[in-house]
Every structure is written in C-alpha cells, then in structure tokens.
Amino acid sequence: MTSTTSQPSETFRSDFPILSQEVNGHPLIYFDNAATTQKPRAVLDALMRYYERDNANVHRGIHTLSSRATEAFENARDKVCRYLGARSPNEIIFTRGTTEAVNLVANAWGGTFLKAGDVILLTEMEHHSNLVPWQLVAQRTGARLRFIPVTQSGELDLEKIDTLLNTEVKLMSLTHISNFLGTINPVKELCAKARLVGAVSMVDAAQSAGHMPLDVKEIGCDFLAFSGHKMCAPTGIGVLYGREEVLESTPPWQGGGEMILSVRYENSTYKGAPAKFEAGTPNIAGTIALGAAIDYIQTIGRESIRVHDEGLALSAFAKIANLPHYRPLGPSKSRGGLVSFVHDSIHPHDLTAFCDQKGLALRGGHHCNQPLMRKFGFPSTSRASFYLYNTEAEVDRMIDILEQANHFFK
Ligand SMILES: Cc1ncc(COP(=O)(O)O)c(C=O)c1O
C-alpha cells in the first residue's frame, strides 16, 4: 500500500472504476472517504448480479428466486457476524446506517429503560448522529446528558472519568474514531468502566469498521453501529450489533411486516432478534453488496488498511504542519486515517472550491460536529480523509495544491 507496507495501493486502484477519471482537467484525487468511500467492481457486480438473477423479496416466498435472495441476504448477516466477532448472527440487525442504528437504540432501549434523572454519557466529539437522537430521548424521558470533555489537543480528557461515569449513568455512547479530529478513543477501557457501574455501552464505529480490525467481544460493548457506505458498500445499508441478552429485553422500535409472530386486531406478538428490529422489506441488494464489501476488505486485511490509512494521515499531518499559514488539528500520533486543518485566513469553503478546480476532493464544513467546532472557535475546517486506494503521491499533490492556494488567495 504505502511505502510502509509491501502492498502498493496502486494494486487496488484499478478495482475502483470511478478513480480513473479526470475532474476539471486533472486526475481525480478522492480525499473525502470519511463522508463516503468509493465502491470496488466486486461490490458493483454483486448489486448487478442480484438484480439480474435473484431479485425477489426475502423470507416470505417459497419460490426459487426468493430462496436464493434469502440465502444471499442471510449469508451477508453471517459475514457481518464474523467480521465483528459477534457471538451469533442474531446479534446483527440491518439498518439504513449508523444514524438509524443510534436512533433504534435511543428509541427502543432508551425509550423503555431511561427515566427522569438518569444520565446518558456521551463525549464532546460526537457526530450529530450520536448526539441528537439522545437529546430527543432525553427530552422525552427526563434523562440528562453528560459529556466527557475534549482537550485542546483533541483527545478525551479522562482525568475525571470516575466522577463522570458513576452509577447515575445508565447508558454511555461514544465514537470509536472522531470524524472531525481523527482521534482514536479507548473504547475498550471505557466500556469496561461502564460495565462496572451497570451502564449499557454503545460504540459508534462509523469511522473504524472499514479501517481497522475490530471485535465486539474484545471491546466489550453492548451495542455497536456502522455504515456500509463508509467501507466500500452502497449507501442505505448499515449495521447495529447488539449483545443478545440486551436485544432480548429491548422491545421493537418500528412495527410492520416480518417482525411479528402473530397479529390480531388489537395486539401482536413479535419474533426474537434480529427480525423484531427489521420491520418491512429490507435493503436486500445493499445487504448482499455489504457482504461483498466485507469479502473485498478481508482479502486486503484490516490491519494492512489501518497501517496504510494511518501512514497517510500522519504524513499529511506533518506536511500540512510545515506549510505556512496552515494548522492541522487533533493528535499528531496514533490517529485514524483523516486530517482536519485550518488556514489562518482562507475560509474552508473557498479552499475546498479551489482544490476541486485542481481535481482534489476535500471536505470543508462543520463535519456534523458543531458543538466541538464552537468550543474550539472554528466555524468550519477542511478535511482530507484517506482509504486503501489513496497514495503518498496524492498526499504530495495535495500539499502542492495547498501551497498554490497560499499564492492564489494572497
Ligand atoms: C463518526 C460518525 N458517526 C456517525 C455518522 C453518520 O453516518 P451515516 O450518515 O452513514 O448514518 C458519521 C458520518 O459521517 C460519522 O462519521
């Protein structure tokens, strides 16, 4: 992949048809992977194959196409189960993405078990998806929100953790890797602490699931969520992992077909997990394609991807730090594969538009982290985020473009 490993990322680039194009007369450099990644041919083929050969609704039909679709769909659940190190496929619930998974837990678990005065513990670096659903359920139940602070260097301030994570806390939910700062949080240690005070724990793995090895038993969380589209799969498919005992005691969230055992006019009985949480026709093609994405990632190896992505991020961080007027944010060591940075006078939106003219796709904005941006005093930042097909040469090209921006906006 990069010079730090033996597998050059050039090898994988040809698997991604979209990468071979020019944008505004320049070869595309796609550094917006934290927003969504590109899709390899194997995933596009899986989508096409399903619609060309097997398209039918799952679980309900006894005809051949329906059996094939059901088998491929449930096969994808088994793959996710192994990918996450879950104990059983029954612990894998398909959702639209991380956002829907957090909303499911906030509504189904939170709406049932939280009561006035209980504390929901989050961190100051949560994506809005792992903040707003908890605000909504807190308003409904009378529970209170509490936050683990973030230091100026972009790490969790754990000095007062034993006071923050006390027996008032009924649920703790935190991001594994910050999509704004690239910080990798000590989720295993924090989930262990949550368990000690009897709190349920949830990990937002949107930025980690496709980028590093991850095992739910090792992390020790009760819930974990991720989005397929941030790891080579299509949009509209994601996963909620839930520990079997916790899922058993959690009532359904949405009602409809597929999740019931028996329905009468006045009431119904429900299946167990995961069916209980998957009302209606699921995203069958997307789920099967998520299985193909997992196969693709596994052939490369998540540890290789982690080393590669971190290598690019550390290199970009150091090179941006050396550029006049630019300042990279977050930890300078041991980080996820992304770098946010600010310029002392160019607005991130102007910088992003300038880079786009050179074929470089960055993201400029608040990255769905408005409260933390406000705390740091930035209206927005620019962000470069990397994946398995990006190269050191692309990082150097970005540095060159950022230098050109210094002259252009002078
Ligand atoms: C850390 C984190 N959590 C949650 C989300 C929301 O993911 P989705 O929009 O796919 O539901 C994102 C998306 O950027 C993210 O980076």
CATH of the domain at 345: 3.90.1150.10
Domain end residue (candidates: 244, 273, 299): 299
- Position 5 in a domain: no
Residue 400 and residue 319 share a domain: yes
Note whether 150 and 258 are same-domain residues. yes
Tokens of 73: 């769909």
Cα of 314 from ligand 1 centre, angstroms: 22
Q: How far is the CA of 34 from the centre of ligand 1 (A)?
A: 8
Q: Is residue 230 part of a domain?
A: yes
Q: How is residue 109 written in tokens?
A: 């678990």
- Based on the domain organization, do 100 and 150 belong to the same domain? yes
Task: Quickly count: other Cβ atoms within 10 Å of residue 23's Cβ.
Answer: 15
CA distance readout (Å), 291 to 48, 105, 143, 179, 255: 14, 23, 38, 24, 26
Helical packing angle, 41-49 and 284-300, nearest 10°: 150
Contacts of 40 by beta carbon, 8 Å cutoff, 6+ apart = 12, 15, 16, 232, 293, 296
- Whether 140 and 166 map to the same domain: the answer is yes
Give the ligand 1 atom nearest the CA of 368.
Answer: 14
Same domain, yes or no: 278 and 201: yes
180 shares a domain with 114: yes
Write the residue with the smallest CA distance to atom 16 of ligand 1.
Answer: 179
Chain-centroid distance of CA 385 in Å reads 13
Residue 71 has what pLDDT? Answer: 97
Residues with a catalytic annotation lie at 368
**Residue range(s) defining the domain that contains residue 324:** 10-30+302-408
Domain annotation covers residue 22: yes
Residue 80 sits in the same domain as residue 162: yes
User: Are residues 215 and 126 located together in one domain of the fold?
Assistant: yes
d(CA 394, CA 194): 41
Q: Are residues 80 and 15 in the same domain?
A: no
Domain count, the chain: 2
Q: What is the CATH number of the domain that holds 227?
A: 3.40.640.10
16 plus 127 within the same structural domain: no
Statement to judge: residues 148 and 179 lie in one domain: yes
Ligand 1: lining residues by beta carbon, under 6 Å: 34, 97-99, 127, 129-130, 175, 179, 204, 206-207, 227
Does residue 400 sit within a domain? yes
* Any domain includes 64: yes
Residue 179 falls within a domain, yes or no? Answer: yes
Mark whether 288 and 346 lie in a shared domain: no
Nearest CA to ligand 1 atom 15: 206
Helix 302-321 and helix 392-408, axial crossing angle in degrees, nearest 10: 30
Per-residue pLDDT of the chain (410 residues; tens, 9 = 90+): 444 443 547 789 999 999 999 999 999 999 999 999 999 999 999 999 999 999 999 997 789 999 999 999 999 999 999 999 999 999 999 999 999 999 999 999 999 999 999 999 999 999 999 999 999 999 999 999 999 999 999 999 999 999 999 999 999 999 999 999 999 999 999 999 999 999 999 999 999 999 999 999 999 999 999 999 999 999 999 999 999 999 999 999 999 999 999 999 999 999 999 999 999 999 999 999 999 999 999 999 999 999 999 999 999 999 999 999 999 999 988 999 999 999 999 999 999 999 999 999 999 998 999 999 999 998 899 999 999 999 999 999 999 999 999 999 98
- Give the C-alpha separation, 69 to 404, whole Å: 52
